């Protein structure tokens, strides 16, 4: 069925159902406002009071200034009053009144705003000078609302009742509606009783008498006053009042919706959209508004190698894993009667925080072990079975006074320590970890000082061609010369520099100092094919300005890009995202070579390797060091790396070669380049220049002569 087959009303209804609550409430209020105003204008909210229908409840009051008056009351709801005017002196009138109250407690007519009257005054017989009887229907009619007020009224003196009146010309057999606004207080009455201004206004709050009178009669004779209808009309509320109430309702509803929206936005801002847990902002807010400062236990959880799940199975599976992990952890805490959960938060990515009520260390250990037991078996997801490993750091707050960020950092430090110890385990923050934090902070401070005071130096690890051991290049290595960093190598201070965001400055210092040395020996190096390999932190892969900064240094020192190779560690490179890959491609476009260091120690897949624009694989020294023990797994790994490199047309460099057997095995199996203590330890720049100018040593020449491609040393 086509969409046109549906009525417009149905389509609108479907669309309204899709609107959020704010829009629905707004539409309902608008419709309600329009409906009420339209109903008011149409009279649907009107009220009425038929005086004639209720006349049996009142007392008829005969009014005349003539000799007689007769009131005719029949079954029908009307009143007739006839009177004979015999004397034209004084004020002459004819009519009736409805006495609403005789004790001063009249009726309030404030809910009404008009009166509808069908009446007529008829002159029955008037004789002119020729003694002819004339019928005259052209007489005005007065309507009075007589108001009682204890300040100036006396029921024994009817004249003291306030005269609120109006004069109009009745139309025969036609209902005339007179708004209350047309009524005025009689001027003669105000003058007679000297009423002050505040009581001189039209008032219907306490009406005791309603009168229907002819206007002043100017001829003697008989007159008839007929009241066929007399109905007070008004509305439940005035239009102005209705608008005020609707405005008030609008204001209250808008105020409610704004607060509801604010609360909704607040909830969204502190809730993780994927898992539904509290996010980092939410847990911060919870702690900042927490009045009860009893001791707490903080668990900091980080999933191990979570990026591999996204890379191998896709982000949908990764998201499902995070949700299932959250559900299982939450269920575990609820099932443990000895653990009282305060809060469970997803801090970011694959990091979570559990906040428990105070527990002793034995309980904390027991619950931590229970968590690992729950995830000891692979987790069944929709499209995969995945073994979940995680590292857990725990901080116990004994006292009532604590700083959330301080304890979060402690739990984070304990988690980091657990990862360093091999992952998939937990660690409670203790003095040892505290000392480690202090140590790392001190190292970071010393690194800042070393950069400012230029307390670094470069050394160079020569790299050789395998087939003849002629020098092919050198790996640039960094050493700290300051007293505070004495004995601390790059394997220690570089991770700390990365942790404290110092490594970018160090990288640029190493690159620039290397370029300065190459520039100074430009003439000598131009005659040689030397490649300088510079280790770069993987954090540069998040630094969008790194390719531009690197390019500036190349131009500044006029360095040929083909003399430079940038090395990235595989274990860090596997975490690279699309932005990082783009940075690698920008560097490659500059003409420099890219190397993957410590290849084989990480988990780079063949597809990832194909995506990375690299030129060289460096075989980690941990594989090379076990060659002399004929470790089958190590040799298989080396052969696999070399085979992969050949398949992808990449060069291979073996690191950490320390004896002749390792050298011969690697050469025999096709490794193209070598470096290690067997050939040379890291040396200074002058020693490297000397090494290049003097050529091979006897030691290297002898080693090269032992290469026999047809001989296998590992049978």
pLDDT at residue number 9: 40
What's the CA gap between 701 and 237, in Å, rounded?
A: 113
What's the CA gap between 23 and 35, in Å, rounded?
A: 18
H helix or E strand, kind and range, residue 297: strand 296-303
Tokens of 630: 């004929």
The larger pLDDT score, comparing residue 83 to residue 427, is at 427
Distances (CA, A) of 233 to 49, 51, 101, 112, 559: 6, 11, 20, 5, 100
pLDDT at residue number 248: 93
pLDDT at residue number 61: 62
**What is the SS3 assignment for 354?**
strand
What's the CA gap between 528 and 678, in Å, rounded?
A: 23
Instruction: Name the DSSP letter for residue 564.
Output: E
What is the DSSP code string of 509-523?
HHHHHHHHHHHHTHH
Q: At what angle do helices 546-556 and 578-589 cross, to 10 degrees?
A: 10
Distances (CA, A) of 351 to 63, 225, 390, 411: 96, 95, 10, 12
Q: Is the pLDDT of residue 136 over 50?
A: no
3-state SS, 573-584, equals HCCCCHHHHHHH
What's the CA gap between 573 and 357, in Å, rounded?
A: 40
pLDDT in tens, 321-380: 999 999 999 999 988 878 888 889 999 889 999 998 888 888 899 999 999 999 999 999
In what order do the strands lie in the sheet containing 390-397?
341-348, 351-357, 296-303, 390-397, 426-428
pLDDT in tens, 441-456: 999 999 999 999 999 9
What's the CA gap between 326 and 334, in Å, rounded?
A: 12
Do 580 and 564 meet the contact criterion of CB atoms below 8 Å apart?
A: no
pLDDT in tens, 615-673: 999 988 888 887 766 556 667 788 888 988 888 889 999 999 999 989 999 998 999 99
Do 70 and 81 meet the contact criterion of CB atoms below 8 Å apart?
A: yes
Do 407 and 298 meet the contact criterion of CB atoms below 8 Å apart?
A: yes
pLDDT in tens, 41-98: 888 888 998 888 876 566 666 665 544 556 665 556 778 888 887 777 767 778 888 8
What's the CA gap between 82 and 88, in Å, rounded?
A: 17
Tokens of 263: 């609360």
Do 380 and 388 meet the contact criterion of CB atoms below 8 Å apart?
A: no
Compute the average pLDDT of residues 143-147. Answer: 92
Q: Is the pLDDT of residue 545 over 90?
A: yes
Compute the average pLDDT of residues 671-693. Answer: 91
The larger pLDDT score, comparing residue 140 to residue 656, is at 656
**184 bridge partner residues:** 165
- Fold topology of 280-429: Alpha-Beta Plaits (3.30.70)
pLDDT in tens, 447-505: 999 999 999 999 999 999 998 888 999 999 999 998 898 889 888 999 889 888 899 99
Tokens of 422: 């091999």
3-state SS, 603-669, equals CCCHHHHHHCCCCEEEECHHHHCCHHHCCHHHHHHHHHHHHHHHHCCCEEEECCCCCHHHHHHHHHC
Q: At what angle do helices 306-313 and 315-335 cross, to 10 degrees?
A: 140
What's the CA gap between 687 and 679, in Å, rounded?
A: 14
Our CA dihedral for 547, 551, 553, 556, rounded to 10 degrees, sits at -160
Q: Is the pLDDT of residue 589 over 90?
A: yes
Compute the average pLDDT of residues 168-185. Answer: 89
What's the CA gap between 418 and 393, in Å, rounded?
A: 7
CATH 1.20.120.450 fits 49-235, yes or no: no
- Phi and psi at residue 414, in whole multiples of 5°? -65, -40
pLDDT band (50, 70, 90) for residue 536: very high
The larger pLDDT score, comparing residue 510 to residue 573, is at 510
pLDDT at residue number 359: 81
Alpha helical stretches, state H, 106-206? 187-193
Cα separation of the two ends of the chain: 78
Q: Which residues contact 399 (CB under 8 A, 6 or more apart)?
A: 295
For residue 72, the tally of other CB atoms under 10 A from its CB is 12
**619 bridge partner residues:** 599, 654
Alpha helical stretches, state H, 155-303? 187-193, 239-269, 280-288
Tokens of 436: 């480690």
Q: At what angle do helices 503-520 and 546-556 cross, to 10 degrees?
A: 20
- Phi and psi at residue 395, in whole multiples of 5°? -125, 125
Rg (CA), the chain: 51
What's the CA gap between 275 and 346, in Å, rounded?
A: 8
The domains of the chain are located at 15-45+240-269, 49-235, 280-429, 451-705
3-state SS, 237-261, equals CCHHHHHHHHHHHHHHHHHHHHHHH
User: Taking all residues of the chain, what is their mean pLDDT, rounded to a whole number?
Assistant: 83
Q: Is the pLDDT of residue 601 over 70?
A: no
Compute the average pLDDT of residues 290-315. Answer: 83
Do 270 and 285 meet the contact criterion of CB atoms below 8 Å apart?
A: yes
Q: Is the pLDDT of residue 431 over 70?
A: yes
Q: Which residues contact 236 (CB under 8 A, 6 or more apart)?
A: 45, 46, 47, 111
- Fold topology of 451-705: TIM Barrel (3.20.20)
pLDDT in tens, 372-407: 999 999 999 998 899 999 999 999 887 666 678 888
What's the CA gap between 357 and 359, in Å, rounded?
A: 6
What's the CA gap between 359 and 333, in Å, rounded?
A: 13
Q: Is the pLDDT of residue 135 over 50?
A: no
- State how far Cα 267 lies from the chain centre: 7
Do 367 and 336 meet the contact criterion of CB atoms below 8 Å apart?
A: yes
- Phi and psi at residue 209, in whole multiples of 5°? -150, 135
Do 175 and 228 meet the contact criterion of CB atoms below 8 Å apart?
A: no
**What is the SS3 assignment for 131?**
coil
What's the CA gap between 199 and 450, in Å, rounded?
A: 94
pTM: 0.59
What's the CA gap between 553 and 512, in Å, rounded?
A: 7
H helix or E strand, kind and range, residue 140: none
pLDDT at residue number 390: 94
Instruction: Give percent of the chain above pLDDT 90.
Output: 33
pLDDT at residue number 6: 37
What's the CA gap between 594 and 196, in Å, rounded?
A: 103
pLDDT at residue number 303: 93
């Amino acid at each position: 069925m086509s969409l046109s087959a549906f009525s417009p009303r149905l389509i609108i209804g479907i669309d309204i159902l899709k609107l959020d609550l704010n829009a629905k409430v707004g539409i309902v209020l608008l419709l309600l406002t329009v409906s009420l105003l339209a109903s008011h204008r149409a009279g649907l909210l009107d009220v009425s009071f038929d005086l004639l229908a209720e006349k049996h409840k009142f007392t008829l009051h005969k009014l005349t200034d003539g000799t007689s008056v007769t009131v005719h009351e029949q079954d029908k709801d009307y009143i007739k009053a006839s009177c004979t005017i015999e004397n034209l002196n004084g004020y002459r009138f004819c009519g009736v009144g409805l006495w609403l109250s005789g004790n001063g407690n009249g009726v309030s007519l404030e809910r009404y705003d008009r009166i509808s009257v069908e009446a007529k005054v008829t002159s029955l017989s008037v004789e002119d000078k020729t003694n002819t009887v004339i019928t005259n229907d052209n007489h005005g009619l007065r309507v009075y609302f007589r108001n009682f007020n204890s300040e100036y009224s006396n029921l024994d003196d009817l004249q003291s009742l306030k005269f609120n009146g109006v004069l109009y010309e009745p139309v025969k057999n036609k209902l005339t509606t007179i708004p209350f606004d047309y009524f005025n207080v009689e001027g003669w009455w105000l003058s007679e009783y000297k009423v002050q201004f505040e009581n001189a206004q039209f008032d219907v709050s306490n009406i005791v008498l309603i009168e229907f009178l002819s206007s002043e009669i100017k001829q003697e004779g008989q007159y008839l006053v007929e009241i066929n209808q007399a109905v007070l009309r008004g509305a439940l509320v005035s239009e102005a009042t209705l608008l005020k109430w609707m405005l008030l309702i609008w204001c209250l509803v808008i105020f409610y919706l704004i607060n509801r929206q604010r609360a909704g936005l607040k909830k969204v801002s502190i809730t993780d959209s994927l898992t539904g847990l509290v996010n980092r902002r939410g847990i911060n807010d919870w702690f900042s508004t927490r009045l009860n400062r009893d001791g707490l236990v903080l668990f900091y959880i980080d999933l191990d190698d979570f990026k591999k799940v996204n890379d191998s199975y896709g982000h949908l599976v990764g998201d499902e894993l995070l949700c299932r992990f959250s559900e299982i952890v939450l269920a575990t805490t609820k099932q443990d009667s000895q653990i009282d959960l305060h809060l469970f938060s997803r801090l970011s990515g694959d990091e979570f925080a559990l906040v428990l009520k105070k527990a002793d260390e034995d309980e904390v250990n027991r619950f931590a072990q229970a968590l690992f037991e729950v995830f000891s078996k692979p987790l069944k997801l929709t499209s995969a079975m995945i073994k979940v490993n995680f590292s857990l750091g725990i901080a116990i707050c004994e006292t009532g006074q604590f700083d959330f960020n301080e304890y979060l950092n402690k739990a984070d430090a304990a988690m980091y320590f657990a990862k360093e110890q091999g992952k998939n385990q937990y660690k409670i923050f203790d003095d040892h970890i505290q000392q480690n934090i202090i140590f790392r902070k001190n190292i970071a401070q010393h690194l800042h000082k070393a950069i400012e005071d230029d307390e670094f130096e470069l050394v160079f690890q020569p790299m050789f061609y395998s087939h003849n051991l002629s020098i092919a290049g050198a790996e640039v290595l960094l050493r700290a010369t300051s007293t505070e960093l004495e004995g601390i190598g790059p394997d220690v201070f570089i991770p700390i520099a990365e942790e404290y965001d110092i490594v970018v400055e160090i990288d640029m210092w190493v690159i620039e100092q290397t370029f300065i040395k190459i520039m100074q020996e430009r003439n000598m190096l131009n005659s040689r094919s030397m490649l300088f390999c510079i280790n770069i932190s993987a954090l540069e892969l998040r630094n969008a300005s790194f390719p531009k900064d690197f390019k500036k240094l190349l131009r500044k020192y006029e360095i040929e890009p083909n003399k430079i190779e940038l090395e990235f560690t595989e274990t860090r490179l596997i975490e690279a995202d699309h932005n990082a890959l783009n940075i690698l491609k920008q560097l490659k476009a500059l003409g420099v070579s890219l190397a993957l260091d410590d290849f084989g120690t990480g988990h780079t897949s063949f597809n990832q390797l194909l995506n990375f624009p690299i030129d060289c694989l460096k075989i980690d020294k941990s594989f090379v060091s076990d060659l002399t023990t004929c470790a089958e797994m190590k040799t298989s790994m080396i052969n696999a790396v070399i085979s992969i490199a050949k398949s992808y047309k990449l060069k291979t460099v073996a690191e950490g070669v320390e004896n002749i057997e390792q050298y011969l095995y690697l050469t025999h199996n096709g490794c193209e380049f070598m470096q290690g203590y067997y050939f040379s330890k890291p040396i200074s720049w002058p020693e490297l220049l000397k090494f290049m100018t003097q050529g091979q040593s006897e030691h290297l020449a002898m080693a090269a002569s032992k290469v026999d491609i047809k001989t296998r040393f590992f049978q």
